[in-house]
Amino acid sequence: MSMAYSGNLLDEALGHVSSTWNPRRRFLLIEDFVETSGAFVLHQLAKNALAKSEGGEIVVFLAFAQNFAHYDRVLRKLGCNLSIQREKKRLIFFELLDRQFPGDAGCRDLYAEIHRIAASCRSSDKDRSSAMTILIDDLSLLEAAAGGSSDHVLDFLHYCISSDSSLIALTHVDIYPAGPTLLSHLHYLADAIIKAEPLRTGSSNQVHGQLTVARGQTFLFRVKENAVEYFYPGTLT
């Protein structure tokens, strides 16, 4: 028998962290491992951001790892319909699976395209806020699309958080070699880090991994078909 947290433990932990942030300029980094995906964290945060978009903010999703149909299917299981959100212009979805960004100009062009489309959405709704939440599903693939240049990726991230924008991005820890890499720069830029990692004893049917939020709260998780269960360590029997 397992004892799951009665509420959303992840949302509660993020609430404590975000209380000290500038709500319109923050960078939340999600780290995971190849064997322990943190995509479910991105899904939950995408749902949260879209719920807040009813207040007028725009959500921009930059998808390098999966297409729109995949995320629409996943988010529907969480009670969030991406197709409707896109029709209402609360969501701007960029499907970037095969796109390349040669040189710094490529990243600047993408940033300009984001703001051009966001401005078009705002022009059709006078109550639309200037604030945006930008989600990136795989920074390592963005780096590959930028020709392997971490400098171009970092410039792009600076663009994203430069004005009235919150940034949420996922990257994989175990693909980087030892020494200075994009990951070390991301740690410097991030206001908070959520890390999904395997248990030292290995995964099981009851526990799939461990989640650490902002180097503070740590809890276990189990990914189910339509939800994720979170547990404090020591609460499984």
The 10 Å Cβ neighbour count of residue 54 is: 10
Mean pLDDT of the chain: 83
Highest mean pLDDT among 63-77, 117-131, 151-165: 63-77
Give me the sign of the Cα torsion angle 123, 128, 131, 133: negative
On whether the CB atoms of residues 167 and 157 are closer than 8 A, the answer is yes
The pLDDT tens digits of the residues spanning 116-143 come to 988 888 777 766 667 789 999 999 999 9
Return the H-helix or E-strand segment holding 48.
Answer: helix 39-52
Residue 225 has pLDDT above 90, yes or no: no
The pLDDT tens digits of the residues spanning 17-60 come to 666 555 555 899 999 988 888 999 999 899 988 987 666 788 99
Question: What's the CATH number for 9-231?
Answer: 3.40.50.300
Average pLDDT, integer, range 60-79:
94
Q: Sketch the domain layout of the chain as residue ranges.
A: 9-231
State how far the Cα of 220 lies from the Cα of 210, in Å rounded to an integer.
4
Q: Which residues pair with 117 in a beta bridge?
A: none
On whether the CB atoms of residues 231 and 218 are closer than 8 A, the answer is no
Q: At what angle do helices 68-77 and 39-52 cross, to 10 degrees?
A: 80
Strands (E), the chain: 25-32, 58-63, 91-95, 132-136, 165-172, 192-197, 209-213, 217-223, 228-231
The pLDDT tens digits of the residues spanning 204-224 come to 667 888 889 876 788 888 888
Which burial class, exposed, middle or buried, applies to 101 when counting CB atoms under 10 A from its CB (0-12, 13-18, 19+)? buried
pLDDT class of 184 with cuts at 50, 70, 90: confident
Backbone angles phi, psi at 135, to 5 degrees: -115, 135
pTM as predicted: 0.88
- Residues with Cβ within 8 Å of 123's Cβ and at least 6 positions away in sequence, in order, are none
Q: At what angle do helices 182-189 and 150-160 cross, to 10 degrees?
A: 20
